[in-house]
Amino acid sequence: MYSEAVLDHFQNPRNAGTLDAPAATISVENPVCGDILELSVRMEAGRIAEARFRTRGCVTALACSSLLTELLRGKTPPEARTITSEQISEALGGLPPATMHGAQLARDAVQAMLAKLI
């Protein structure tokens, strides 16, 4: 059911944890399934230098959170704004409709983080 990329990010999450003195920390929740994603970013020279996450949720939510931190690193806020749930899904090998909510949660986190940075 899960792609190799989803399983890899789930079993070997990248950038899990918290940051000391982040520029922004946000928390978003999917009210339907209860998944929660906390995202923290550190900025340097106008770019996201580091991103960390803590997620409570399903396999897909955790995999999308892990991938999101990799996608954010090195981007400016306007570049981060272009990250879509479809892009996250594609990077993980294509999520089935039943698990697309993980990518949407990650996208919601980007929007909330950008709102806090600005």
pLDDT bracket for residue 118 (50, 70, 90): confident
Backbone angles phi, psi at 10, to 5 degrees: -70, -45
Residue with token string 């399934």: 33
pLDDT number for residue 78: 97
Rounded-to-integer distance, Cα 81 and Cα 112, Å: 10
Secondary structure, 3-state, 53-116: EEEECCHHHHHHHHHHHHHHCCCCHHHHHCCCHHHHHHHCCCCCHHHCHHHHHHHHHHHHHHHH
pLDDT tens for 51-105 read 999 999 999 999 999 999 999 999 999 999 999 999 999 999 999 999 999 999 9
Domains, the chain: 4-117 (3.90.1010.10)
pLDDT bracket for residue 1 (50, 70, 90): confident
pTM, 2 dp: 0.95
pLDDT tens for 13-46 read 999 999 999 999 999 999 888 999 999 999 999 9
